[in-house]
Amino acid sequence: MELVPVLIGVAVCAAAVVIALRLRPSKQDAGPGRGSQARVDPFGVGEPWRRHVAAAQSAQRRFAKIVSTMSPGPLRSRMAEIGRQVDRGVDECWQIAKHGDQLDDTIRGLDGAGLRARLDRATDDSMRTSIQSQLDAVERIRTARELTDQRLHRLQTRLGELVSQAAEVSIGSDTTGELGSAVDDVVVQLEALLQAVDEVNTTGRSRGFEANGPGTASPAT
């Protein structure tokens, strides 16, 4: 009969994690929604997310400056089109950063240290099983958060590298085909990473953070 309280405890902890993730007030809720570059605000999130967004915005500004110095013509038009993809990449970075910042709030709210202290004091096996299940859920969220940080850092760094390569195009080396494909690849990976971290925020599941998930390697040039 001890199985019944164990199952109840597991169900309760799972429900608590999902509710905390989905319904907990977040400082991002007061901000504008997705889709406007003017609304990207690094100071709307904590570190390390702020740093990632600021770096992506710096790359965006550098790319815009490169395009602005080019003479009107087909090459500049192609570069401007790539610039719109860079803008999308910055927006994806911002969305991922907001989700990552939300994960930080969730981890603090679930109080892993308090759960570990309760586990150390617990003597009833069913209670220990329930608390351990909660700790496992916190650890999964923490792992997803760390991987989000690492992969976002890699992708925004890659975006900056591609913007630096764009300077070569501005002086007459037309590699816009390769450059555009590489920027597109980064944006696709950012979108996949956003989808993965969004699932953690909305369901508590951490699928999408497998070994070869988005952001694990820089796209080939």
Helix (H) or strand (E) holding 188: helix 176-203
| Most confident residue range from 90-99, 171-180, 206-215 | 90-99
Which residues have CB under 8 Å from 210's CB, separation 6+? none
Model confidence at 170: pLDDT above 90: no
- Please give the pLDDT value at position 150: 95
Which residues have CB under 8 Å from 166's CB, separation 6+? 63, 66, 79, 82, 179
What digits encode the pLDDT tens for the residues 81-90? 999 999 999 9
> Taking the CA of residue 215 as centre, how many other CA atoms within 13 Å lie in the half-sphere pointing to its CB?
29
Torsion of CA 27, 205, 207, 221, to 10 degrees: 10
Prior bond of 32 cis (ω within 30°) = no
Helical ranges in 24-73 per DSSP H: 49-68
- Please give the pLDDT value at position 199: 84
Lowest-pLDDT choice from 28-37, 72-81, 133-142, 188-197: 28-37
Mean pLDDT of the residues in the chain: 80
What digits encode the pLDDT tens for the residues 87-117? 999 999 999 999 999 999 988 888 788 888 8
CB 159 within 8 A of CB 186: yes
- Please give the pLDDT value at position 9: 47
Rounded distance, CA 201 to CA 151, Å?
17
**Residue found by looking up tokens 């429900």 in the block:** 15
Model confidence at 162: pLDDT above 80: yes
Could you state, in order of their start, the residue ranges of all structural domains in the chain? 3-22+47-203
Query: How much of the chain, in percent, has pLDDT values that exceed 70?
Result: 74
Mean pLDDT of the region 37-43: 78
- Please give the pLDDT value at position 208: 65
Angle at 97 between CA 91 and CA 103, to 5 degrees: 145
For residue 182, give the nearest of 170, 195, 165 by alpha carbon.
Answer: 165
